[in-house]
Every structure is written in C-alpha cells, then in structure tokens.
Amino acid sequence: MVTDIHCHSDQVSADNIAKFIADGGKIGSVSMTLKSAIQVLALKQQYPDAIELFLGIHPEVAADEAMIEAVIALIHQHHRLLSGIGEIGIPFFYLDDKTALQKQLLKQQGAQLMARFVAIAADYNLPVNLHVVEDDIELALPILNQYGVGGALFHWYEGSLSHLTQLHQQGHFISVSPWIFVDDHYWQFVQAIPFSMMLVESDAPCKYNGKIGDPSMIVDIIAAVANYHQISVEQLTLILADNTRRYLRK
C-alpha cells in the first residue's frame, strides 16, 4: 500500500481521489485554512480508512486570530479522527519582496504560530506535517525539541547536506515530491536522503511542468527512486510503507 503523505485533497478532483483510493492508495490530507479544514474533515468522514487527516493553518496564509482559534477548536473537537497536525510551519515564499528586517519579524511571528500548533500535537501525541524551507529548520527544530515532538515530517524539504544529516540524526522524515522530474538540483538532493527517513508526496494540486499534481504521481516517484538505487519497486514500497507507519505512530 502506498501513501501520498502530503496532499491538498480539498483541491483535487473527487474522481481522482476515488480512483487512487480504489487502487489501494492512502492520502495524507492537509489543511491550509478553516475552509479547507472543514473540507478535508468531510473527506475523512467519506473515506475513514483511506484518509490520514491533518488539520492546521499553512504558514503562508493570512490568517487572523478568529481563523486560528476556529481551526484549533476543530482539532480539539475531532482529535480522535486526526493522524496529525498540518500543514504548519514557517513562512518563506511570500517574503521575497520583504526587507531583511521584515523577513525576520514575519518568520518570528510564523514560528510563534507554529509553536501553538506543535504544543497541541504534543498534547495529543500526534505527528506534525511541516512547511519548513532550507535554513528555516533552525527556527523549527527548537520548537519541536521544546515540546518533545519527534519524527516530524519536513514535506518537500531541500537544504544542505549538513541539515539533511541533522534531520536524520534527530529522527525526522522528509517526503519526496514530483519536483524530482522538474529540477535536477532537487533530484540530486533526494538521491542523498536515507531510505529510513523517506516518504513520498504529491503536494497536489501543485503543478509540475504545467501538469496539475495528483496523488497517482507518487507511483512514478517510487519507480524513479528505486531505479536510481537499483532496488525493486516492491522493496522500496515496503520501506516507504514501514516509514509511513512509524511516522503516523501506528
């Protein structure tokens, strides 16, 4: 069984979700806003055994306190349905036009929001599904350590080899996206990820070379990684399934 561990399923067509699940797949369904949290919660109720539900607020969303409190209330109300907390993390991409001082302030504010959700994850003993880019692990790791949350998923992470080693030594996971088929630098980084910390994701409906992302794309990721390391698809699928169970604490 394969799991797309990071997918915005509220933005994926119902037919594609149904087909992927019918073919034996599972989906780690993350939320970004209150609206998407409600939508992925409904999807979990529709596919209780095939959806791994994560609730959170994306760090690049302009969320006011009312939205934050509403999503937190949903988490408390439905915590028994949750597989984890996410998508949460540190803002990065929308800061391109900001000054260095503005970036520092916004990242600090993002870290404070991340900490609120990590604290909830710790209370319910749930894993976290993180949006943390490059050197921002230096902001994220102290938060995880503060609340004793191990085995975090750094989705679509790419950074230095020293940071990769740091994440590996601390027992965290990294999910590989279809971006391996688009960007050679990312593909080279993925080649260095130890099998023991690897998961796979579509981040659907993110586009790859103009093609809308879909959970079925993880099949091609597994084939490419297996081919590079000269192991069978079946063997890698088993490794990923075991990693997924460990990450979800099952």
Write out pLDDT tens, residues 177-229.
999 999 999 999 999 999 999 999 999 999 999 999 999 999 999 999 999 99
**Least confident segment among 132-136, 144-148, 229-233:** 132-136
Please tell me the pTM assigned to this model. 0.95
Q: What is the reported pLDDT for 96?
A: 73
pLDDT above 90 (res 176): yes
Q: Give, in words, the CATH class of 3-248.
A: alpha beta
Average pLDDT of span 66-93:
95
CB under 8 Å, gap of 24 or more: what pairs does 242-250 form? 243/173, 243/195, 243/196, 243/197, 243/198, 243/199, 244/3, 244/5, 244/199, 246/151, 247/5, 247/127, 247/151, 247/153, 247/173, 247/199, 248/52, 248/83, 248/84, 248/127, 249/125, 249/126, 249/127, 249/151
Among 59, 56, 58, CA closest to 74: 56
Q: Which residues are annotated binding-site positions?
A: 6, 8, 87, 131, 155, 203
Average pLDDT of span 62-81:
97
Confidence tier at 95 by pLDDT (50, 70, 90) = low
Q: What is the reported pLDDT for 91?
A: 85
Q: In 10 A of CB 27, how many CB atoms?
A: 28
Share of residues in the chain with pLDDT > 90 (%): 91
Q: Which residues are annotated binding-site positions for a divalent metal cation?
A: 6, 8, 87, 131, 155, 203
pLDDT above 80 (res 100): no
Confidence tier at 1 by pLDDT (50, 70, 90) = confident
Q: Where are the domains of the chain?
A: 3-248
> What CA–CA distance (Å, rounded) separates 134 from 22?
36
Confidence tier at 104 by pLDDT (50, 70, 90) = confident
What's the whole-number average pLDDT of the chain? 95
